[in-house]
A and B are shown apart, each in its own frame.
Chain A
Amino acid sequence: MTTSTSSGRRGIRLGYRANLVGISALGVILLWVVVALFAPHMIPHSVGEIVDTDYFGPVSRDLWLGSDYLGRDIFSRILMGARYTLGISLAAVSIACFSGVALGMTAAVAGGWLDTMLSRFLDALNSIPSKLFGLVVVAAVGSSIPALIATLSVIYTPGAYRFARALAVNVNTMDFMVVARIRGEKLPYLIASEILPNILGPVLADLGLRFVFVVLLLSGLSFLGLGVQPPYADWGALVRENIGGLPFAAPAVLFPSLAIASLTISVNLLIDNLPRRIRDRSPE
């Protein structure tokens, strides 16, 4: 991206240069966050209430997105589903990135056998396909919401570790690290004050991408009936519930999928359009 604003891209001075695609993606994400926070006050009908005499009803003035397989309001159910999809994914990705990044920086700074052991072990975990990992763990510990959060965060920790370690290894060779070591600084200080500020931008961008993976995996598990269990329903579970409406092209199947797509595509687009200064702030 050049310093001059090209036509078609609106430049907004926020300290960073942003473009239209990035801003609209951010808008969609913020909209879903607001929905997730205030869903109980926004829903026009109660999620459990049967409001339509027909099932798989069409889009109407009263039921904005039609009704589901029991005649419940899909619009309300999607709004409430946002809480589970966003909440579980955000919790899982935060835990995964926090532990992955902390371990990665420790491994890079400490080096030696700790680094080798951690890398070998986490790389091995990384070579289990994520969906398969999810299936095996769900089979073992069940699919309560805390178990799902724990499973998802374990699955995505190795990736975050690998990414953070690669960045931290570069920073570790810098002169200021040598100086800090000679000063006699301890490991926690080195990690928190010398390494972390230098890798924060890319780590946050990575967190966003990992969030998309978590949302997709969670939806996939729920779609298979192994994720969020009734009476709660996230977006993946909504698609599963209403898959019987597919032959009638019911809106109840389509709109939950669209909700997932709008969230994941927005996050991807936002990260793609982040100003270089944040995204690629790799150590020189």
Chain B
Amino acid sequence: MRRQISSLVMRRLLIALITLLIVSIAVFSATALLPGDTATILLGQSATPEAVEGLRKAMHLNDPAIIRFLKWIAGIFQGDFGTSYANNVPIANLIHGRLANTMKLAGLTAAIAVPFALTLGITAAMWRGTLYDRIVTVATIGIISVPEFMIATLAVLLFAVYLKWLPALSFTNETKSFYDLMRTYAMPVMTLTFGVSAQMIRMTRAAVVETLNTPYVEMALLKGASRPRMVLRHALPNALGPIVNAVALSLSYLLGGVIIVETIFNYPGIAKLMVDAVSTRDLPLIQTCAMIFCLGYLALITAADIVAVLSNPRLR
């Protein structure tokens, strides 16, 4: 049985690797699709054909696509992400601090969202069908159905414009005290937390409700266990796998959320860097950012799958 589990996990990891390869091909070819010649775009309209040809040689643009792709992949493995077109700086330098900023934002959000969402999700399932459950369900549907920028703008309206508790759209680096730090992070983290929690609450609630419908929980009910005891002692341990799965999947929503939140709050993270790179068509930078995001996303969904395998008692 142990062998079966490890082979399943290995298989999942292998699939993740193959997926990553396909994703990198997709990202590379999407950016290679760019109409027009990169060298011409960089040098502008008035460039002489000789200059364009020289730059093409220097950037190895004359090589076949497959060679460029392999060189690019090999570079990534060696920590060399290439050079940004827009300002001729090694991409590794650009990304370094930005990535840390984004991780800080995501980590803080996860630290708040996970306990919050699990509590709401489990209690909603515990008191299924009550007014409390209805409110939680309707609120989560509402939040899932609206775009992130709407949550962000509403938060700004409420806390910065009407209540004047927090600074509006500016993000300053002059955070001296812990209080300042709290104030600057409050709004981005709050916006992200709403989105992530809504997903997580729905999935957690569904997972717990499913276990509550099993015969052994009915047995616990019949023997006279109280509702909290029934849920916490009998149902929850068996719903743990699906719940952890739900947490990992919902956290992958963060990746989409940060793109909007970093832009709207002008947060110096990697998603903002990427959006700027798209507007300046800085291809190497877009490729690298896209790969970082896909890697994070794949890591999370692979973790979710592996947890689902490990938590299946029939395989233990």
Contact = CB atoms under 8 A, between A and B. Distances in A.
A220 B259 CA distance: 9
Interface string A58-85: 0000000000000000000000000000
Contact of B150 (A123, A212, A260): A260
A247 B168 contact: yes
B147 A219 contact: yes
A243 B146 CA distance: 17
B294 A132 contact: yes
Q: Which of A120, A128, A216, A243 has the most CB of B within 10 A?
A: A128
Please report whether the interface of chain B is mostly helix, strand, loop or mixed according to DSSP: helix
Interface string B65-101: 0000000000000000000000000000000000000
Given A135-B286, A136-B31, A249-B161, A265 B146 contact: yes
A264 B168 CA distance: 27
A239 B35 CA distance: 30
Contacts of A253: 153
Contact of B260 (A123, A220, A254): A220
Q: Which of A121, A140, A219, A226 has the most CB of B within 10 A?
A: A140
A127 B279 contact: no
Contacts of B274: 132, 135
B277 to A, nearest CB: 8
A223 interface: yes
B103 interface: no
A125 B31 CA distance: 15
A179 interface: no
Contact of B294 (A127, A137, A226): A127
Given A127-B294, A249-B157, A249-B161, A257 B18 contact: no
How many chain A residues sit at the interface, stated as a range, is 35 or more
Contacts of B297: 127-129, 132
B146 to A, nearest CB: 5
B144 interface: yes
Interface string A101-131: 0000000000000000000110111011111
Interface string B111-138: 0000000000000000000000000000
Contact of B146 (A223, A261, A267): A261
Interface stretch (B19-27, B179-187, B209-217, B231-239): B19-27
B19 A124 contact: yes
A176 B164 CA distance: 67
A239 B294 contact: no
Interface in B257-298: 259-260, 263-264, 274-275, 277-279, 281, 283, 286, 290, 293-294, 297-298
Contacts of B252: 129
A257 B149 contact: yes
B303 interface: no
Contacts of A182: none
B169 to A, nearest CB: 7
Given A139-B278, A140-B33, A249-B162, A223 B147 contact: yes
B264 to A, nearest CB: 8
Given A124-B18, A129-B252, A239-B153, A140 B30 contact: yes
B161 A124 contact: no
A220 B31 contact: no
A261 B33 CA distance: 34
B150 to A, nearest CB: 4
Contacts of A261: 142, 145-146, 150
A42 interface: no
A239 B277 CA distance: 22
Contacts of B146: 216, 257, 260-261, 264-265
A265 B153 contact: no
A248 B22 CA distance: 47
A254 B263 contact: no
A38 B153 CA distance: 30
A249 B278 CA distance: 30
Given A124-B19, A225-B279, A264-B146, A136 B153 contact: no
A272 interface: yes
27 contacts: A128-B290, A129-B255, A132-B274, A132-B294, A132-B297, A135-B259, A135-B286, A136-B31, A136-B286, A138-B278, A139-B31, A141-B34, A212-B145, A216-B146, A219-B149, A223-B147, A223-B260, A224-B260, A224-B275, A226-B279, A246-B168, A247-B160, A249-B157, A249-B162, A253-B153, A257-B147, A265-B145
Interface of B: 18-19, 22-23, 26-27, 30-35, 141-142, 144-150, 153-154, 156-157, 160-162, 168-169, 252, 255-256, 259-260, 263-264, 274-275, 277-279, 281, 283, 286, 290, 293-294, 297-298, 301
Given A120-B22, A140-B32, A246-B161, 7 more contacts: A139-B31, A139-B286, A226-B278, A246-B156, A261-B142, A264-B145, A265-B145
